[in-house]
């Protein structure tokens, strides 16, 4: 409860910053998009990672406020770039399960793209696989409605939970993001499973991106099995807005 007061203050003091981690096309090395990841710049403690505060905010209800803020900053960023004629790429934001249960995510997101007149195709919505686990009507309908409106819907952390195949059966999404733990396997069987999942996703007309790509061997393997996109330290770490702007402003 004390944290709630601190968090409100931190938000109005601008301590929550957007970091951007590029998503790369492994075939040509180009930047195909980026994921926005929040960082808390605390005046005394320095940078606090989301793994520390997001679970707390999901419990105390602050996440709805923080995410709404992050989403608005992201849409504003797109708007500003477009208005000044600068290069833009689709940007993804994260949606917590509790956002979906506690507020009207559809209303908030459509409200934002309408307010700033930004094409919803430029906004990708990352919904973690575990959010789908109870497969409630609510979340199935929300994904479909968001896609119908024109947003890009991405299933995040795919392969990390226990309900992956059911998810693909019930939920409409444009992009499947493979969990980095998926990549850790060294054995033949593990690799065969990754290949089969990539194939299945493509069969279902989804774009496949793998997260947590750190090594050249992983890039080679993923390209070989038909996964085109990657997000990971091999290419780029999450970076400040200004660094990201420099990166996409000077395409190689
Ligand atoms: O940035 P990092 O690698 O530490 O992210 C850790 C986790 O925190 C990720 O699983 C990510 O989904 C989550 N996360 C990062 N930024 C946000 C955000 O703005 N909103 C929500 N809801 N989750 C986020
Ligand atoms: O929302 P999501 O769980 O997809 O958030 C992505 C998380 O993965 C962030 O915490 C980000 O910092 C982390 N990440 C991204 N690329 C890599 C990587 O190559 N290696 C590792 N260890 N973590 C990564
Ligand atoms: Mn994510
Ligand atoms: Na993930």
Determine the average pLDDT of the residues in 206-218.
95
* C-beta neighbour count of 20 within 10 angstroms: 27
Q: Domains (ranges, CATH) in the chain?
A: 2-238 (3.20.20.450)
pLDDT for res 250: 57
pLDDT for res 121: 98
Q: Is the pLDDT of residue 252 over 60?
A: no
Q: Is the pLDDT of residue 23 over 80?
A: yes
Two tokens, residue 80: 């500003």
Task: Calculate the alpha carbon distances from 97 to 86, 116, 177, 186, 207 in Å.
Answer: 34, 25, 17, 32, 23
Share of the chain above pLDDT 70, in %: 97
Q: Is residue 179 within 6 Å of ligand 2 at its C-beta?
A: no
How much helix, strand and coil, in percent to the nearest 5, is found in the chain?
Answer: 50, 25, 30
What interface predicted TM-score (ipTM) does this complex get?
Answer: 0.96
- Provide CB contacts within 8 A for 95, sequence distance 6+: 67, 105, 125, 126, 127, 131
Q: Are 70 and 36 in contact (CB under 8 A)?
A: yes
Determine the average pLDDT of the residues in 52-79.
97
Spatial distance between the Cα atoms of 90 and 17, rounded to a whole number of angstroms: 19
For the chain, the average pLDDT equals 93
Q: Are 160 and 130 in contact (CB under 8 A)?
A: yes
Q: Is the pLDDT of residue 186 over 80?
A: no
Ligand nearest to the CA of 157: 4
pLDDT for res 135: 65
Q: Is residue 124 within 6 Å of ligand 2 at its C-beta?
A: no
Ligand nearest to the CA of 160: 4
CA of 98 to the centre of ligand 4 (A): 17
């Amino acid at each position: 409860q004390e944290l709630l007061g601190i968090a409100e203050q931190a938000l109005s003091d601008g301590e929550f910053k957007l970091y951007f981690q590029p998503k790369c096309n492994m075939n040509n090395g180009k930047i195909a998009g980026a994921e926005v990841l929040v960082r808390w710049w605390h005046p005394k403690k320095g940078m606090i990672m989301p793994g520390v505060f997001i679970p707390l905010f999901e419990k105390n209800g602050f996440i709805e406020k923080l995410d709404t803020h992050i989403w608005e900053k992201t849409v504003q960023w797109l708007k500003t770039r477009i208005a000044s004629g600068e290069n833009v790429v689709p940007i993804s934001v994260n949606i917590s399960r509790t956002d979906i249960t506690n507020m009207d995510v559809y209303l908030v997101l459509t409200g934002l793209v309408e307010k700033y007149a930004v094409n919803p195709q430029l906004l990708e919505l990352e919904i973690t696989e575990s959010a789908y686990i109870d497969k409630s009507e609510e979340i199935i309908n929300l994904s479909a409605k968001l896609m119908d409106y024109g947003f890009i819907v991405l299933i995040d952390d795919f392969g990390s939970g226990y309900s992956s195949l059911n998810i693909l059966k019930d939920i409409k999404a444009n992009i499947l993001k493979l969990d980095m733990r998926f990549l850790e396997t060294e054995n033949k069987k593990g690799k065969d499973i990754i290949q089969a999942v990539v194939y299945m996703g493509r069969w279902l007309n989804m774009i496949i991106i793998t997260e947590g790509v750190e090594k050249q061997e992983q890039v080679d393997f993923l390209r070989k099995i038909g996964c085109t996109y990657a997000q990971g330290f091999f290419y780029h770490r999450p970076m400040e807005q200004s660094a990201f702007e420099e990166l996409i402003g000077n395409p190689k």
